[in-house]
Amino acid sequence: MQNTKPVVPIRSVLIFGGAGFIGSNWAHRLLQNSAARVHIFDNLSRRGVHHNLEWLQKHAASRDRLQITVGDIRNASQVQKAVQFATEIYHFAAQVAVTTSVEDPQFDFDVNVCGTVNILEAARRTNRHPFLLFTSTNKVYGNFCSTTPRGTSLRFDCKAGDCVSETQPLDFHSPYGCSKGAADQYVRDYARIFNLPTVVFRMSCIAGPRQFGTEDQGWVAHFLYSALQDNPVTLYGDGRQVRDVLYIQDLLRAIEKVRAQARKTAGEVYNVGGGLGNSVSLLELMREVEVLTGRRVLYSHKPVRPGDQPVYVTDYSKLKQHVGWQPSANVQQILVNIHEWWEQNQSLFVAPGIDDPIAAPQFVHAPGVAV
């Protein structure tokens, strides 16, 4: 009798927002460490994303394994077409700024809520129940501090009992908190009602190489790049606000673990972040940047923005208990790694057109790219 090997199904991975910081790092990890076919779906609206696509095309082991679609998650027909063959879906596409949501709540809603429902509906209609991971935010918990916390001249106090678990009641502040929170709940409910194996990550601050940090997203990289380029930063509040920072590669390990144990993790919501050991205030981070670079961080103050929590530090014990995950890199190492990447890629920060990320014509007709 002839021995036959079991057929291993091909992983067909679709990444919405795949040209962004998290998406491009996840795509690279898959291309380097798996046999998965990777399909990136992105509208190229974020600063620097066309550089990420160039990087991925360079590192793709085979061009047949990397497909790029320039599209918008608000377009249901584009989303449906992209989803039809996916066995795994990673939803990183979003409107990401609280400030933008306050200026244009309708746009924020259309992207974060309607776009997410488009993806969920497309996945449901395949009748193949693809694994789906959605990245939510700590902003769904709102400003849960009723009074200003106590602290030192550098930071507000935070101890282990203050870390935020998934039992913290939802309390959306700002249109951004509302839209991400609504999307978060839709993703969770599609697991319960339609048996889609979905997972929600409510994330704290993610940082690492390939992050084109801005004031509204990626503040760790933003502070570092600003110091390196002698650009001032704005502190909203007194700078004692505390956040926990998670290294991008640690986040990718968490994604791998929940996908590998989908039978256990399907339908779950996890708080994901660096935890108490990786907590840092804005003022403390500026000191770390100054030690690393030998340059002062220039800054000014403005009033606190809507929905800005004085302290947010993740309790990731549920994720640790379910899949055995915990962070590995500390804040200092994360800064070193971002600094090393910046030194090797300084041209990306001064190249003409980097502030016009929508203009990326070299991809419109490139091999493996659909529009």
What's the token pair of residue 320? 């640790």
* Per-residue b or e along 132-157, where b marks 16 or more CB atoms closer than 10 Å to that residue's CB: bbbbbbbbbbbbeeeeeeebeeebbe
Q: Select which of 141, 176, 186, 225 is catalytic.
A: 176
| Beta-sheet pairing, 88-91 with 37-42 | unpaired
Residue 176 known to be catalytic: yes
Long-range pairs, 344-350, Cβ under 8 A, ≥24 = 345/51, 348/48, 348/51, 348/212, 349/225, 349/229
Beta bridge partners of 312: 243
d(CA 10, CA 241): 45
Round to whole Å and give the CA distance between 140 and 138: 5
* Nearest by Cα to 212 from 71, 15, 348: 348
For strands 279-281 and 242-247, give the pairing. Answer: antiparallel
Tell me the two tokens of residue 129.
């129940």
* Positions marked catalytic: 176
